[in-house]
């Protein structure tokens, strides 16, 4: 039952949304805070952080303190690793705050479903964000593919974990998802632009001294029978690859750089695409503002479900230990 002492659910309003950010790590500093502080839709009031917060704003070390002492914080953005995000989200929901979840929305599907039900009961907005879906070429690619028959899809997501996630041990701990931490971005694009598909096999390569895979090969089948193959590699040095190649009955489209640009072989183009350093997070925060004002939630777990299937069906191989 809801705590009668807690503030009422955030009311629809036309002014800036008072927001607090929890977990001031790489993504909060690189994307969330620059976008929030430059958007007329938001006003940052506070952070919760064990490492010092964000200069110029109150910093709490406990989310409960921030929620109790900052009534202007009507919405909370959770930028922590997936492990432990559930408890933070419960605290925010129970305090009547709208919640923005970084990807992946939780460590398990059941956690996210419990949050969705809880938010609905409390009358607050819950947003499971998928930043790669806001990459500029993704929506045009979806429209292009919708008018064609897909014959085959090849997803290649190859990056250097030491460069992109230095010393982030949580990625190799249970719930950290390993190479699926970036790989789920590919799955978020694939589940947005392709017809429905499901996993048929997976091979997960797990370092002997770690709990989560560092490489994976997956095979899926689309409704209609076309093959989708996906290669995830976290040991790629040199050029980095985040590509989705979609072969259709009328041309081949390749998304490059995680959806930042698209190349179409054949006569069709995708038109001009907006690009910029924060375009994905600008899109996410515009969407969250719209959800808050309309008082509706958006919790699509389909990328996380594909990932969970890989962990359920995947064959595990132990490979060389990994050290930073």
Backbone angles phi, psi at 296, to 5 degrees: -130, 150
What is the biggest distance separating any 2 CA atoms in the chain, rounded to whole angstroms? Answer: 62
Among 39, 80, 212, 260, binds ligand NAP (CB under 6 A): 80
User: What is the total residue count of the chain?
Assistant: 324
Place of tokens 């699926």: 180
The alpha-helical segments, DSSP class H, found in the chain are: 26-27, 33-38, 63-69, 85-94, 109-122, 138-146, 161-164, 180-193, 279-294, 302-313
Q: Is 274 a catalytic residue?
A: no
Return the residues of window 128-167 that contact ligand NAP according to CB under 6 A.
Answer: 131
**Taking a C-beta distance cutoff of 8 angstroms, is the pair 66, 19 a contact?**
no
Q: How far apart are CA 177 and CA 276, in angstroms?
A: 28
Query: Could you tell me the smallest distance in angstroms from the CB atom of residue 284 to ligand NAP?
Result: 10
In the complex with ligand NAP, the residue whose CB is nearer, 18 or 175, is 175
Nearest distance from residue 212's CB to ligand NAP, in Å? 12
Query: Of the listed pieces 80-88, 116-124, 264-272, 301-309, which binds ligand NAP according to CB under 6 A?
Result: 80-88
Name the DSSP class of 258: G
Residue tagged active-site, from 26, 69, 103, 274: 103
Instruction: Write phi, then psi, for 156 (nearest 5 degrees).
Output: -125, 115
Using rule CB under 6 A, residue 24 touches ligand NAP = yes
Q: Which is nearer to ligand NAP, 122 or 192 (CB)?
A: 192
6 binds ligand NAP (CB under 6 A): no
- Is residue 279 involved in binding ligand NAP (CB under 6 A)? no
CA 294, distance to chain mean position in Å, is: 22
Q: Locate tokens 């408890």: which residue?
A: 87
Position among 18, 20, 81, 213 found at the interface with ligand NAP (CB under 6 A): 81
Nearest-angstrom CA–CA distance, 5 and 27: 33
- Give the interface segment with ligand NAP, choosing from 36-44, 78-86, 149-157, 290-298 (CB under 6 A): 78-86
**CB-closest chain residue to ligand NAP:** 25
Q: Which of 103, 118, 133, 158 binds ligand NAP (CB under 6 A)?
A: 103
Stretch of 45-53, 108-116, 187-195, 271-279 lying at the interface with ligand NAP (CB under 6 A): 45-53
Closest CA to 135 of 240, 260, 255: 260
Q: Which of 11, 12, 40, 51 binds ligand NAP (CB under 6 A)?
A: 51
Asked whether position 108 contacts ligand NAP by CB under 6 A, the answer is no
Dihedral sign for Cα 5, 11, 15, 17, please. positive
Give catalytic residues, as residue numbers.
103
The residue ranges that bind ligand NAP (CB under 6 A) are: 23-28, 49-51, 79-82, 84, 102-103, 131, 168, 170, 181
């Amino acid at each position: 039952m809801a705590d009668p002492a807690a503030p009422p659910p955030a009311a629809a309003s036309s002014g800036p949304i008072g927001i607090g950010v929890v977990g001031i790590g790489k993504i909060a500093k690189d994307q969330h805070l620059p976008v929030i502080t430059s958007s007329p839709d938001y006003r940052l009031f506070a952070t919760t952080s064990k490492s010092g917060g964000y200069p110029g704003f109150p910093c709490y070390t406990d989310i409960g303190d921030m929620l109790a002492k900052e009534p202007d914080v009507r919405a909370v953005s959770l930028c922590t690793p997936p492990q432990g995000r559930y408890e933070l989200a419960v605290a925010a929901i129970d305090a009547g705050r709208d919640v923005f979840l970084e990807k992946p929305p939780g460590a398990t599907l059941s956690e996210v479903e419990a949050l969705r039900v809880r938010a609905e009961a409390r009358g607050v907005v819950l947003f499971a964000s998928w930043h790669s879906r806001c990459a500029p070429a993704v929506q045009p690619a979806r429209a292009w593919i919708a008018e064609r028959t897909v014959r085959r899809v090849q997803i290649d997501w190859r990056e250097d974990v030491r460069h992109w996630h230095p010393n982030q041990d949580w990625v190799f701990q249970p719930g950290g998802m390993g190479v699926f931490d970036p790989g789920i971005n590919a799955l978020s694009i694939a589940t947005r632009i392709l017809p429905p598909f499901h996993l048929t096999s997976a091979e997960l390569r797990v370092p002997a001294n770690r709990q989560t895979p560092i490489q994976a090969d997956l095979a899926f089948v689309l409704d209609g029978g076309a093959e989708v193959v996906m290669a995830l590699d976290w040991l790629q040095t040199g050029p980095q690859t985040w590509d989705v190649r979609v072969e259709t009955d009328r041309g081949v489209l390749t998304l490059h750089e995680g959806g930042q640009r698209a190349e179409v072989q054949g006569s069709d183009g995708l038109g001009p695409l907006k690009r910029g350093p924060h375009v994905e997070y600008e899109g996410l925060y515009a969407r969250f503002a719209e959800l808050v004002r309309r008082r509706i939630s958006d919790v699509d777990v389909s990328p996380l479900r594909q990932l969970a299937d890989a962990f359920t069906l995947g064959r595990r191989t132990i490979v060389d230990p990994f050290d930073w």
